[in-house]
């Protein structure tokens, strides 16, 4: 498992390689892992050696000037999950999430490096989704509709900012399809159903460059009627997040598509 973790964090560089910034009073800051068992401590040390969460923090701090500190840290939760705590200004990433994605996706990728990339993509999407909640909170961003859908869009857009981000979004989308249909979900939950999130992510990556991703959607069950709307969906998504984040931007966020 430790070797796979190293591959995971090396693969995550597809989204998160930026110059280091000096420590600041505000911004996204990584805090020490909170573990309760010896196994959790060993896993936290393995992840800490490659500084995966530090890469996320440097990415966000490179792009955005935040008005206050947001903490980001691994916690041994007893479940594979992640969430944002508004009062504490903290993004919690359950340390079990890494192994969950390896177990979930192992049967679907024949090559080890492809599995590592897929796990990195799914993990990156979830972290950026929760960071999105934090940005909405501390930047006091207006959101119409469900915030969960909005930060899914933000996570996709941030992934697409980087080389190889389209493959990362497609792999993250598949992680929702690979889970048992609507496992543990309620129809009234604040999140869209996993199958809906799969199709949303697939639609947005296709909409970012329809010619490049035409084969990808042809091989899927994305309805033709929805497919025709995807370029407009993505362009609206992109314009909206560029406008919302512009006041906090340290540097221009690259348009995609």
Whether residue 97 contacts residue 126, with contact meaning beta carbons closer than 8 Å, is answered with yes
Residue 1 has a pLDDT of 40
From start to end of the chain, where are the E strands? 27-30, 69-75, 82-85, 90-94
How long, in residues, is the chain?
Answer: 257
Q: With contact defined as beta carbons under 8 Å apart, do 238 and 205 qualify?
A: no
The pLDDT of residue 185: 59
Both tokens assigned to 23: 């420590």
Tell me which DSSP letter residue 154 carries.
H
CA distance to 160, 169, 191, 195, 240, per residue, from 206 (Å): 11, 10, 22, 17, 18
Contact (CB, 8 A) for 256 and 159: no
Tell me the average confidence (pLDDT) per consecutive run of 10 residues in the chain, 257 residues long: 47 40 71 94 90 92 94 96 97 96 92 91 97 98 94 96 90 89 61 87 94 83 92 96 94 54
- Residues near 126 by Cβ (< 8 Å), separated by ≥ 6? 82, 93, 97
User: Measured between alpha carbons, how far is 223 from 196 in angstroms, rounded to an integer?
Assistant: 12
CB count in 10 Å sphere of residue 193: 15
Beta strands in 86-141 (DSSP E): 90-94
Write down the pLDDT at residue 235: 97
Tell me what pLDDT residue 4 has.
47
Nearest to 188 by CA among 156, 150, 146: 146
pLDDT of residue 251: 66
Phi, psi of 179 (to 5 degrees): -70, 155
CA distance 183 to 69: 35
């Amino acid at each position: 498992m430790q070797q796979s973790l190293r591959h995971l964090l090396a693969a995550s560089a597809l989204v998160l390689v930026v110059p280091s910034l000096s420590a600041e009073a505000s911004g996204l800051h990584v805090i020490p892992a909170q573990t309760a068992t010896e196994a959790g401590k060993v896993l936290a040390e393995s992840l800490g050696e490659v500084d995966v969460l530090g890469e996320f923090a440097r990415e966000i701090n490179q792009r955005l000037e935040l008005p206050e500190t947001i903490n980001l840290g691994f916690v041994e939760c007893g479940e594979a999950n992640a969430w944002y705590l508004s009062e504490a200004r903290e993004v919690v990433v359950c340390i079990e999430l890494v192994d969950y994605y390896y177990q979930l996706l192992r049967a679907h990728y024949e090559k080890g490096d492809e599995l590592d990339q897929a796990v990195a993509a799914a993990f990156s999407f979830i972290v950026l989704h929760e960071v999105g909640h934090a940005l909405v909170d501390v930047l006091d961003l207006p959101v119409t509709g469900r915030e969960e859908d909005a930060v899914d869009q933000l996570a996709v857009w941030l992934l697409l900012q980087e080389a190889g981000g389209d493959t990362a979004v497609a792999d993250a989308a598949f992680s929702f399809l690979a889970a048992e249909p609507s496992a543990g979900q309620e129809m009234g939950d604040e999140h869209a159903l996993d199958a809906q999130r799969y199709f949303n992510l697939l639609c947005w990556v296709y909409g970012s460059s329809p010619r490049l991703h035409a084969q990808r959607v042809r091989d899927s069950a994305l309805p033709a009627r929805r497919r025709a709307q995807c370029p407009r969906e993505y362009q609206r998504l992109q314009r909206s997040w560029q406008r919302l984040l512009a006041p906090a931007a340290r540097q221009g966020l690259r348009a995609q598509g």
